[in-house]
Amino acid sequence: MNDTSFLPPQDKVFSVTDFSLLLKGVVEGAFSRIKIQGEVSGLKKASSGHIYFSLKDDDSVIDAVSWRGQNAGFANLLKDGQEIICTGKVTTYPARSHYQIIVESVELAGEGELLKLLEERKKKLAAEGLFAEERKKSIPFLPDVIGVITSPTGAVIRDIIHRLSDRFPRRVLLWGVPVQGEEAAAKVTEAINGFNLIPKEGLITKDGIIPRPNVLIVARGGGSIEDLWPFNEENVVRAAAASDIPLISAVGHETDTTLIDYASDLRAPTPTGAAEKAVPVRSELLSRTSMAKARMLDASARFLTEQQTKIKGLARGIPNLEDIVEQYIERLDDKSERLIGAARIYLKTSQERFNSTARLLESYSYTKILARGFALVMGKDGHTVSSSANANPGDSWQIHFADGQVPVTVTGENCAKSASEPKAPRKRKTSTYEDKQGNLPL
């Protein structure tokens, strides 16, 4: 740099302040945007949110500062010993007569450094269980609503929608975000969390109800490791792991891998691949359904035919059903007739036995004896008087004849118990037929 037109006249005298301000203007004008590579040293994060550190190499050191609000996208890349490339402007600090770079963005110096940081972060998050297979959720077979987090412009969203339309048209909710740069990680995190905050019944707005997605797709096209770095940030990875809605990651090309791929429930090699994994092919489902229906109808027909054949075979081995029934009816008629005949024989025999018993009983009746001229004497208590020894003067008796009865009263005359002295026993006469008759039975 040999241009000295900006230099003041050499004979002019400046105050310290004037010269400091002149130097500040020259430096800021000459280095309004510059990239400086170096190693981070003396990192300090103030309570105000500003970050102070130095950049150094083997021979020199330059102070650096990043104001709050500018460092949100790269603050996590800053740590002592980390080789970085800072983009910003150089300015002076007149109060101390030194210069510094105001850092506006930071990137890791060299792919090797990025890969080293990526591996360290991967181990850290894996140790926390964010990549564990048992915590991954299943992707719904046929989601009604698909939430897509990607750039609202570009080929990615068009490819996803086109692929969904070809396979199985579904409703798509797009949450547009930058997919690279300093704000990308924060915006992607906000989108994942935002979709999860939608209630299951949907979010009611003045324009209608925004439904809650059944599955999320986080996608962007291919790029360098630096371009894809937002999807390696911890806030993005943690949001993907904590999502209640199943999440498919589709970042970069097939060979690209970011940490969100490990935290997601399913990784797709490309955004188009994510659409393919989100829904089945409608035409294939219709074809499979038709084939299944045809197989079911064919199987049902075969089953009915087989059962009909079995029934016919069994029927051939069984005599005519009407003949069987008629035979049993004939047997029933025969049994009925025999039963009626047996009942009649039994009743006749029983009647005869009854009549015979009745005649015998009648022949034994005392009334038959009374008819032959005998009489029956009964006391007032209704018992038969069978001996004269039972006669007492004054007893009332009933004399029963065949044609009636006559009441009598026992007198003292000729009464065995009325004599003052007992009479000598009567001399037993020669037995006659009447003597052998004995007492009448009761």
Question: Over pLDDT 70: what percentage of the chain?
Answer: 90
64 Cα distance to chain centroid: 60
Residue 111: its pLDDT value, please? 64
C-alpha span between 136 and 262 (Å, rounded): 10
Residue 2: its pLDDT value, please? 53
Look up residue 131 and give its DSSP letter: T
Query: What is the rounded average pLDDT of the residues 139-164?
Result: 94
Residue 435: its pLDDT value, please? 47
Look up residue 1 and give its DSSP letter: -
Residue with the bigger pLDDT between 246 and 385: it is 246
Q: Are 40 and 65 in contact (CB under 8 A)?
A: no
Query: What is the rounded average pLDDT of the residues 232-251?
Result: 96
Q: pLDDT tens-digit profile of 114-134? A: 788 888 899 999 999 999 999
Residue 11: its pLDDT value, please? 74
Please compute Rg for the chain using Cα positions.
64
Residue with the bigger pLDDT between 433 and 143: it is 143
C-alpha span between 157 and 213 (Å, rounded): 16
Look up residue 425 and give its DSSP letter: P
Lowest mean pLDDT among 24-28, 107-111, 143-147: 107-111
C-alpha span between 307 and 175 (Å, rounded): 60
C-alpha span between 148 and 185 (Å, rounded): 15
Taking the CA atoms of 249, 255, 258 and 259 in sequence, report the sign of the dihedral they define. positive
What is the pLDDT of the chain when averaged over all its residues? 85
C-alpha distance from residue 87 to each of 44, 107, 109, 388 (Å): 19, 9, 12, 163
Return phi, psi of residue 376, to 5°.
-120, 125
Q: Assign 413 a pLDDT band (cuts: 50, 70, 90).
A: low
Going across the sheet that includes 396-401, the strands are: 376-379, 396-401, 404-409
Q: pLDDT tens-digit profile of 336-385? A: 888 888 888 888 888 888 988 888 887 777 777 777 778 888 888 888 88
C-alpha span between 392 and 415 (Å, rounded): 7
Q: Which is nearest to 147 in space by CA: 219, 216, 218?
A: 216
Q: With 60 as the cut, is the pLDDT of residue 417 above it?
A: no
User: Is the whole model's pTM more than 0.75, yes or no?
Assistant: no
Which residue has 């097939």 as its token pair? Answer: 254
- The identity of residue 412, as a single letter, is G
Burial classification of residue 191, based on how many CB atoms lie within 10 Å of its CB (0-12 exposed, 13-18 middle, 19 or more buried): buried
C-alpha span between 216 and 400 (Å, rounded): 125
CATH 2.40.50.140 residue ranges in the chain?
16-109
**Strand 171-176 to strand 203-205: parallel, antiparallel, or no bridges (unpaired)?**
unpaired
Residue 436: its pLDDT value, please? 44
Q: pLDDT tens-digit profile of 204-241? A: 988 899 999 999 999 999 888 878 989 999 999 999 99
Q: With 80 as the cut, is the pLDDT of residue 426 above it?
A: no
Residue 94: its pLDDT value, please? 76
- The identity of residue 15, as a single letter, is S
Q: pLDDT tens-digit profile of 57-94? A: 888 999 999 988 888 777 877 888 888 889 999 888 77
Give me 176's structure tokens. 């547009």
Q: Are 234 and 242 in contact (CB under 8 A)?
A: no
Q: pLDDT tens-digit profile of 92-105? A: 877 777 888 999 98
Q: Which CATH class is domain 16-109?
A: mainly beta
Q: Which CATH class is domain 140-280?
A: alpha beta
Residue 421: its pLDDT value, please? 46
Bridge partners of 338, per DSSP, are none
Q: pLDDT tens-digit profile of 22-62? A: 878 888 788 888 999 998 999 998 988 899 999 998 889 99
CATH 3.40.50.261 residue ranges in the chain?
140-280
**Strand 203-205 to strand 208-210: parallel, antiparallel, or no bridges (unpaired)?**
antiparallel
